[in-house]
Structure 1
Amino acid sequence: MSEDKNNLEDDIKKGAEEVKETAKEFSNNAKETIESNENKKLLAGILGILLGGFGVHKFILGYTKEGIFHILLSLLCGLGGIIGLIEGIIYLTKSDEEFYQTYQVGQKPWF
Protein backbone atom coordinates (compact mmCIF):
# COMPACT_ATOMS: atom_id res chain seq x y z
CA MET A 1 0.00 0.00 0.00
CA SER A 2 2.83 2.39 0.90
CA GLU A 3 4.61 1.62 -2.38
CA ASP A 4 1.43 2.45 -4.38
CA LYS A 5 1.16 5.75 -2.52
CA ASN A 6 4.77 6.65 -3.34
CA ASN A 7 4.26 5.73 -6.99
CA LEU A 8 1.14 7.87 -7.12
CA GLU A 9 2.97 10.82 -5.58
CA ASP A 10 5.82 10.44 -8.10
CA ASP A 11 3.32 10.29 -10.96
CA ILE A 12 1.59 13.44 -9.71
CA LYS A 13 4.92 15.30 -9.45
CA LYS A 14 5.93 14.23 -12.97
CA GLY A 15 2.53 15.27 -14.30
CA ALA A 16 2.77 18.67 -12.62
CA GLU A 17 6.23 19.23 -14.10
CA GLU A 18 4.96 18.32 -17.57
CA VAL A 19 2.03 20.71 -17.19
CA LYS A 20 4.37 23.54 -16.16
CA GLU A 21 6.66 22.88 -19.13
CA THR A 22 3.74 22.76 -21.55
CA ALA A 23 2.34 26.02 -20.16
CA LYS A 24 5.76 27.67 -20.55
CA GLU A 25 6.03 26.52 -24.17
CA PHE A 26 2.51 27.73 -24.91
CA SER A 27 3.25 31.12 -23.36
CA ASN A 28 6.45 31.55 -25.35
CA ASN A 29 4.75 30.53 -28.60
CA ALA A 30 1.86 32.92 -27.93
CA LYS A 31 4.27 35.83 -27.38
CA GLU A 32 6.10 35.07 -30.62
CA THR A 33 2.82 34.82 -32.50
CA ILE A 34 1.50 38.13 -31.21
CA GLU A 35 4.76 39.94 -31.93
CA SER A 36 5.15 38.65 -35.48
CA ASN A 37 4.27 41.01 -38.33
CA GLU A 38 2.20 38.50 -40.25
CA ASN A 39 -0.08 37.88 -37.33
CA LYS A 40 -0.53 41.59 -36.66
CA LYS A 41 -1.73 41.80 -40.23
CA LEU A 42 -4.07 38.86 -39.78
CA LEU A 43 -5.31 40.02 -36.39
CA ALA A 44 -5.81 43.64 -37.49
CA GLY A 45 -7.57 42.53 -40.68
CA ILE A 46 -9.98 40.17 -38.96
CA LEU A 47 -10.74 42.63 -36.15
CA GLY A 48 -11.23 45.40 -38.72
CA ILE A 49 -13.86 43.31 -40.46
CA LEU A 50 -15.60 42.00 -37.32
CA LEU A 51 -15.20 44.88 -34.85
CA GLY A 52 -14.34 47.74 -37.19
CA GLY A 53 -16.81 50.12 -35.58
CA PHE A 54 -14.91 49.99 -32.32
CA GLY A 55 -11.55 50.76 -33.94
CA VAL A 56 -9.90 47.74 -32.34
CA HIS A 57 -7.73 47.18 -35.41
CA LYS A 58 -6.27 50.68 -34.97
CA PHE A 59 -5.25 49.93 -31.39
CA ILE A 60 -3.65 46.63 -32.46
CA LEU A 61 -1.41 48.55 -34.87
CA GLY A 62 -0.53 51.14 -32.23
CA TYR A 63 -2.65 54.00 -33.59
CA THR A 64 -4.27 55.16 -30.35
CA LYS A 65 -5.45 58.59 -31.54
CA GLU A 66 -6.92 57.11 -34.70
CA GLY A 67 -8.60 54.36 -32.69
CA ILE A 68 -10.31 56.89 -30.43
CA PHE A 69 -11.33 58.95 -33.47
CA HIS A 70 -12.70 55.78 -35.07
CA ILE A 71 -14.87 55.09 -32.02
CA LEU A 72 -16.18 58.66 -32.05
CA LEU A 73 -16.88 58.42 -35.78
CA SER A 74 -18.94 55.29 -35.14
CA LEU A 75 -20.90 56.87 -32.33
CA LEU A 76 -21.60 60.16 -34.12
CA CYS A 77 -22.46 59.09 -37.65
CA GLY A 78 -22.13 55.31 -37.87
CA LEU A 79 -19.40 55.26 -40.53
CA GLY A 80 -16.84 53.50 -38.33
CA GLY A 81 -18.11 50.02 -39.12
CA ILE A 82 -17.94 50.58 -42.87
CA ILE A 83 -14.46 52.08 -42.68
CA GLY A 84 -13.32 49.21 -40.44
CA LEU A 85 -14.66 46.67 -42.92
CA ILE A 86 -12.85 48.35 -45.81
CA GLU A 87 -9.60 48.64 -43.86
CA GLY A 88 -9.80 45.02 -42.74
CA ILE A 89 -10.14 43.85 -46.32
CA ILE A 90 -7.26 46.10 -47.42
CA TYR A 91 -5.04 44.74 -44.64
CA LEU A 92 -5.73 41.14 -45.59
CA THR A 93 -5.17 41.66 -49.31
CA LYS A 94 -1.72 43.22 -48.91
CA SER A 95 1.40 41.08 -48.91
CA ASP A 96 3.12 40.64 -45.56
CA GLU A 97 6.04 42.85 -46.57
CA GLU A 98 3.79 45.56 -48.04
CA PHE A 99 1.63 45.57 -44.89
CA TYR A 100 4.70 45.79 -42.66
CA GLN A 101 6.26 48.63 -44.68
CA THR A 102 3.02 50.59 -44.97
CA TYR A 103 1.41 50.29 -41.56
CA GLN A 104 4.22 49.47 -39.17
CA VAL A 105 7.31 51.12 -40.62
CA GLY A 106 5.59 53.91 -42.56
CA GLN A 107 2.95 54.43 -39.86
CA LYS A 108 0.14 55.10 -42.36
CA PRO A 109 -2.92 55.35 -40.10
CA TRP A 110 -5.76 55.39 -42.67
CA PHE A 111 -6.50 53.19 -45.67
Structure 2
Amino acid sequence: MYCKNCGKPMEDAAVVCVSCGVPRGAGNQFCQNCGQPVMPNAFACTHCGAQVGAAPVQQANPAAKSRICAGLLGLFLGGLGIHNFYLGYTGKAVAQLILTITVLLAPISGIWALIEAIMILTGSIAVDGKGLPLRD
Protein backbone atom coordinates (compact mmCIF):
# COMPACT_ATOMS: atom_id res chain seq x y z
CA MET A 1 0.00 0.00 0.00
CA TYR A 2 1.16 3.52 -0.82
CA CYS A 3 0.28 6.94 0.59
CA LYS A 4 -2.27 8.71 -1.62
CA ASN A 5 -0.76 12.07 -0.64
CA CYS A 6 3.00 11.56 -1.13
CA GLY A 7 3.25 8.17 -2.91
CA LYS A 8 5.65 6.62 -0.35
CA PRO A 9 5.16 2.99 0.77
CA MET A 10 3.01 2.50 3.90
CA GLU A 11 2.62 -0.44 6.24
CA ASP A 12 -0.80 -2.07 6.02
CA ALA A 13 -1.40 -1.50 9.74
CA ALA A 14 -0.32 2.18 9.63
CA VAL A 15 -2.93 4.78 10.56
CA VAL A 16 -0.93 7.70 9.12
CA CYS A 17 1.88 8.00 6.58
CA VAL A 18 5.22 8.29 8.41
CA SER A 19 6.64 10.36 5.53
CA CYS A 20 4.03 13.12 5.34
CA GLY A 21 1.77 12.55 8.39
CA VAL A 22 -1.44 12.42 6.38
CA PRO A 23 -4.10 9.91 7.56
CA ARG A 24 -4.38 6.66 5.64
CA GLY A 25 -6.57 7.02 2.55
CA ALA A 26 -6.38 10.83 2.48
CA GLY A 27 -5.11 12.55 -0.63
CA ASN A 28 -5.68 12.09 -4.34
CA GLN A 29 -2.28 12.62 -5.96
CA PHE A 30 -0.95 9.03 -5.96
CA CYS A 31 -2.38 5.54 -6.47
CA GLN A 32 -2.57 3.62 -3.20
CA ASN A 33 -2.08 0.36 -5.10
CA CYS A 34 1.11 1.13 -7.09
CA GLY A 35 2.26 4.56 -5.81
CA GLN A 36 2.29 6.18 -9.27
CA PRO A 37 1.01 9.75 -9.75
CA VAL A 38 -2.64 10.08 -10.83
CA MET A 39 -4.71 12.97 -12.10
CA PRO A 40 -6.75 14.61 -9.30
CA ASN A 41 -10.16 13.77 -10.80
CA ALA A 42 -9.22 10.33 -12.17
CA PHE A 43 -11.49 7.37 -11.51
CA ALA A 44 -8.76 4.73 -12.03
CA CYS A 45 -4.96 4.60 -12.06
CA THR A 46 -3.61 4.53 -15.61
CA HIS A 47 -0.63 2.41 -14.50
CA CYS A 48 -2.29 -0.46 -12.63
CA GLY A 49 -6.04 0.09 -13.23
CA ALA A 50 -6.94 0.30 -9.53
CA GLN A 51 -9.85 2.55 -8.56
CA VAL A 52 -8.52 5.80 -7.10
CA GLY A 53 -11.59 8.05 -7.10
CA ALA A 54 -15.27 7.86 -6.45
CA ALA A 55 -17.37 6.12 -9.07
CA PRO A 56 -19.12 8.54 -11.42
CA VAL A 57 -22.69 9.16 -10.30
CA GLN A 58 -25.38 8.84 -12.90
CA GLN A 59 -28.11 11.33 -12.29
CA ALA A 60 -31.69 10.85 -13.29
CA ASN A 61 -32.71 12.70 -16.41
CA PRO A 62 -34.50 15.84 -15.20
CA ALA A 63 -36.33 16.07 -18.54
CA ALA A 64 -37.89 12.62 -18.09
CA LYS A 65 -41.68 12.67 -17.90
CA SER A 66 -43.54 11.03 -15.04
CA ARG A 67 -45.38 7.83 -15.91
CA ILE A 68 -47.82 8.35 -13.01
CA CYS A 69 -48.59 11.92 -14.08
CA ALA A 70 -49.15 10.87 -17.69
CA GLY A 71 -51.41 8.01 -16.61
CA LEU A 72 -53.51 10.24 -14.37
CA LEU A 73 -53.78 12.88 -17.09
CA GLY A 74 -54.96 10.11 -19.42
CA LEU A 75 -57.61 8.96 -16.94
CA PHE A 76 -59.02 12.37 -16.09
CA LEU A 77 -58.32 14.55 -19.15
CA GLY A 78 -57.49 11.90 -21.72
CA GLY A 79 -60.45 12.63 -23.97
CA LEU A 80 -58.83 15.98 -24.70
CA GLY A 81 -55.47 14.32 -25.41
CA ILE A 82 -53.75 16.15 -22.55
CA HIS A 83 -51.62 13.11 -21.64
CA ASN A 84 -50.34 12.90 -25.21
CA PHE A 85 -49.50 16.61 -25.24
CA TYR A 86 -47.61 16.04 -21.96
CA LEU A 87 -45.65 13.11 -23.41
CA GLY A 88 -44.89 14.93 -26.67
CA TYR A 89 -47.17 12.91 -28.96
CA THR A 90 -48.68 16.03 -30.51
CA GLY A 91 -50.26 14.31 -33.51
CA LYS A 92 -52.19 11.82 -31.38
CA ALA A 93 -53.15 14.60 -28.98
CA VAL A 94 -54.61 16.76 -31.74
CA ALA A 95 -56.52 13.76 -33.12
CA GLN A 96 -58.06 13.06 -29.70
CA LEU A 97 -58.91 16.73 -29.25
CA ILE A 98 -60.65 16.86 -32.64
CA LEU A 99 -62.58 13.67 -31.87
CA THR A 100 -63.76 15.15 -28.58
CA ILE A 101 -64.74 18.48 -30.16
CA THR A 102 -66.90 16.64 -32.69
CA VAL A 103 -69.29 15.66 -29.90
CA LEU A 104 -70.60 12.54 -31.62
CA LEU A 105 -67.13 10.95 -31.61
CA ALA A 106 -66.24 11.94 -28.03
CA PRO A 107 -66.93 8.43 -26.63
CA ILE A 108 -64.37 6.99 -29.05
CA SER A 109 -61.78 9.49 -27.82
CA GLY A 110 -62.67 8.64 -24.20
CA ILE A 111 -62.21 4.90 -24.76
CA TRP A 112 -58.94 5.56 -26.61
CA ALA A 113 -57.71 7.69 -23.70
CA LEU A 114 -58.71 5.07 -21.11
CA ILE A 115 -56.81 2.36 -22.98
CA GLU A 116 -53.73 4.59 -23.31
CA ALA A 117 -53.88 5.55 -19.62
CA ILE A 118 -53.90 1.88 -18.64
CA MET A 119 -51.02 1.17 -21.04
CA ILE A 120 -49.00 4.05 -19.57
CA LEU A 121 -49.61 2.99 -15.97
CA THR A 122 -48.75 -0.66 -16.68
CA GLY A 123 -45.57 0.25 -18.56
CA SER A 124 -46.66 -0.81 -22.05
CA ILE A 125 -46.02 2.76 -23.15
CA ALA A 126 -42.58 3.33 -21.62
CA VAL A 127 -41.13 6.25 -23.61
CA ASP A 128 -42.20 9.80 -24.38
CA GLY A 129 -42.41 11.44 -27.80
CA LYS A 130 -38.63 12.00 -27.86
CA GLY A 131 -37.87 8.36 -27.04
CA LEU A 132 -36.76 9.10 -23.46
CA PRO A 133 -37.85 6.54 -20.85
CA LEU A 134 -40.61 7.58 -18.48
CA ARG A 135 -39.66 7.82 -14.81
CA ASP A 136 -41.81 6.38 -12.04
Structure 1: distance between partners of 2:91 and 2:70: 16
In structure 2, the gaps of 5 or more residues are 1-59
Amino acid at match of 1:94: G
The equivalent residue for 1:36 is: 64
Task: Give, in angstroms, the shift of residue 35 of structure 1.
Answer: 2.4
Distance 1:33 1:48, change over 3 A: farther
Pair 1:88-2:117 in alignment: yes
Task: Give, in angstroms, the shift of residue 86 of structure 1.
Answer: 1.1
Structure 1: distance between partners of 2:72 and 2:121: 8
Pair 1:69-2:98 in alignment: no
Q: Which has the larger radius of gyration?
A: 2
* Residues 79 and 100 in structure 2, CA contact (< 8 A), matched pair in contact too: yes
Greater helix fraction, Structure 1 or Structure 2: 1
Higher relative contact order (CA 8 A, sep 6+): 1
Q: Deviations over 1:55-87 (max 9, x none)?
A: 001101111122111111122211111111110
Cα root mean square deviation, aligned: 2.8
Structure 2: distance between partners of 1:85 and 1:71: 14
TM-score norm. by structure 1 comes to 0.52
TM-score norm. by structure 2 comes to 0.44
Amino acid at match of 1:64: T
In structure 1, the gaps of 5 or more residues are 1-31, 107-111
Structure 2: distance between partners of 1:71 and 1:35: 25
